[in-house]
Amino acid sequence: MRKVKPARKLGRTAAHRKATLSNLSTQLLIYKRIETTEAKAKETRRVVEKIITKARKGTHHAQREIFSALRDKDAVRELFEEIVGKIGSRPGGYTRIIKLVPRFGDAAKMAVIELVDYAEAPSAAPVAAKQDRSKRVKGSKKAEAESQEKEGGEAAE
């Protein structure tokens, strides 16, 4: 009996799914690390690992095949000129998925997927230290009271 390979459908039609995975793969190759849902990260891994393995052949044919999947010249150039060299002799397993805390709003399982060989590069930390809510909310009474207190204190001195 014909058996279908297990894969997530991601709630999309075949064409939509193909486009989504193509986009995610392209972005991963360009940015080296992307944040998405856990399911999409795991599906992207299947796709992009095969693409990278193919790219390591380095043939013109491989390049054309990959372009037909990604439809993005910049990503293909980055892949063949930078990423393939950086990978060295790694026998597959070019990507790493790290789980994140659930997304606020719909509690979707989130994850980052990154290229292992780029992961040691420094990250620009995006997470600003959380301020007191009273200071972030404009015109909050608590914040005003605090700033007035400060002013009052300075004036007294």
List of residues contacting other proteins (CB under 8 A): 31-33, 35, 98-101, 112, 114, 118-119, 121-127, 130
Q: What is the closest distance, in whole angstroms, from the C-beta atom of residue 126 to other proteins in the complex? A: 4
CA–CA dist 65, 81 (Å, integer): 16
Phi-psi region of 10 (alpha: psi -120 to 50; beta: other; left: phi over 0): left
Look up tokens 């997304």; give the residue.
Answer: 103
Q: What is the closest distance, in whole angstroms, from the C-beta atom of residue 143 to other proteins in the complex? A: 22
Nearer to other proteins, 121 or 145 (CB): 121
Residue 54 token pair: 């193919």
Q: What is the closest distance, in whole angstroms, from the C-beta atom of residue 60 to other proteins in the complex? A: 26
Residue 136 token pair: 């972030």
The residue length of the chain stands at 157
Nearer to other proteins, 57 or 136 (CB): 136
CA–CA dist 36, 45 (Å, integer): 12
Cβ atoms of 55 and 80 closer than 8 Å: yes
Nearer to other proteins, 35 or 49 (CB): 35
Nearer to other proteins, 35 or 65 (CB): 35
Nearer to other proteins, 131 or 148 (CB): 131
Q: What is the closest distance, in whole angstroms, from the C-beta atom of residue 89 to other proteins in the complex? A: 21
Q: What is the closest distance, in whole angstroms, from the C-beta atom of residue 39 to other proteins in the complex? A: 15
Residue 105 token pair: 């709003």
Q: Which of 28, 18, 38, 57 is nearest to 106 (CA)?
A: 38
